[in-house]
Amino acid sequence: MTLPRDMSLYPNPLLSPAQKTLAQSVSCTGFGAHGGKQVTMTLHPASAGSGIVFERTDLSPWYNTLPARWDYVRVTPLCTQLVNEAGVEVRTIEHVMAALYASGIDNAHIALNGDEVPLMDGAAAFFMDLFEEAGVEALCAPRRFLKVSQALDVREGAAFARLEPAASPAFQITVAYPQHGIAPQSHGFDFGAQNFRDELAACRTFGFEPEIHALREKSLTLGCDLDNAILVSGEGAVMNPEGLRYPNELARHKLLDAIGDLSLAGGVILGRFSGNRSGHAMNNALLCKLFATRDAVQEMHPALPASFRATRHETHVSA
């Protein structure tokens, strides 16, 4: 790959060969999806090769950083969380990670004054708007691409998550909740041909009314409401007054989650992900298997032309 000076020649920022970061810091304040506590998140620019790193500013600086990597993941049925060697955690990272990945942002320092990323709109559109306000800087360093060399999967009954070779990052998922009156839904997305903002960014997280009381007794879903989440009744009816944004919005959101989970590979995966009733735990198990399987993935760093200079595009930030 070669990189032209004009970054606009890459309409999909994920596929440009140069690493990127934010052009300036930007903040937001909201409530955690599960703990329901108010938290402020500030995203700062970071140097090439530093990756995405979370910092818990409410804790001692000796042990409060967590790299956003697959080998720091602890999963629950409801979210993906990072845990470092000291037991410090940051949870519900999947939506902001999907937004960073889709925006082509490889490096950022994310400061949080709590243990959970704010839910905001329950999807990724709010975060993408935030990054656009901050602007994006192309760095004079090649991006890390991870080319899937062989097919592999993880399975549990009928559920599975699979990666196989492909020319560009592509995702497909099927979900089904017959116990809640939801027929199977599917959606596919290819970063080489489709626009993340149009297809997935606005697709909200969701839950089922018969389970909410039990979850809240466990201090879960305390920050969710009809403004940031889809609520489905026991009979399969959508309880949000405005209804769904897409007929298959549940499948699209699960695909958004999968993109956020697989972004923790630490590079752009050149491969096709497919999932059937897969969730956060299975997505991470797939990454673990990818990196544990000999010759399953090839690391690539496209050369940048000698004439390349980092480009900077900034707009006013109202944080």
**Residues annotated as catalytic (active site), given as ranges:** 280
The three-class DSSP label of residue 127 is helix
The alpha helices in the chain, defined as continuous H runs, are 94-102, 125-134, 196-199, 209-217, 249-262, 280-292
**Which are the contacts of 277, defined by CB distance < 8 A and separation ≥ 6?**
158, 159, 160, 174, 175, 176
Cβ burial, residue 130 (10 Å; 0-12/13-18/19+): buried
Task: Name the region of 157 (left: φ>0; alpha: ψ -120 to 50; beta: rest).
Answer: left
Task: Check if the beta carbon of residue 110 is closer than 8 Å to that of residue 53.
Answer: yes
* C-alpha to C-alpha distance for 65 and 61, rounded to whole angstroms: 8
Our CA angle for 30, 255, 89, nearest 5°, is 45
- CB neighbour burial string for 268-291, b if at least 16 within 10 angstroms, e if fewer: bbbbbbbbbbbbbbbbbbbbeebe
The pair of structure tokens assigned to 119 is 């839910």
* Tokens read off for 34: 């599960």
Residue 80 DSSP one-character state: E
Structure tokens at 42: 């500030």
Q: Which two tokens stand for residue 56?
A: 């818990």
Name the nearest CA neighbour of 258 among 124, 67, 131, 95: 95
